[in-house]
Amino acid sequence: MSISKPFYRIARPKAYIPDYIKDKRYAPDRLQLSRAYLSIENDLRDIFEYIEPAEDNKMVYSFKLYCLLLRACTEVELNCAEILGSSCIPVGKN
């Protein structure tokens, strides 16, 4: 399958894209995505106050870790679905 247009929700930091951050085609919901990321990051920092990120703690399990992993996976799934669902235009379809 060939793609005739770019995947707009994917960041390309080394490519020159003027006003890339302000371009709503990349992520019209970028504030919501930023808040979700910051929430996950803050929860991870909270967990690191109790569990040292070390090799010895590799087998540690907790409900908070489960919840954090589930939320992170959900965010990745949401973004992948948005990338492929709204930006992928097969050749021959306009």
- 3 — phi, psi (to 5°)? -110, 130
Residues in the chain, overall count: 94
**Pair 43, 64: CB distance under 8 Å:** yes
pTM metric for this prediction:
0.68
Provide the residue ranges of all domains of the chain, joining segments of one domain with +. 1-94
Please give the Cα distance from 73 to 80 (Å, whole number).
11
Per-residue pLDDT of the chain (94 residues; tens, 9 = 90+): 565 566 677 766 666 655 666 677 777 777 888 899 999 999 999 999 999 999 999 999 999 999 999 999 999 998 888 877 754 444 444 4
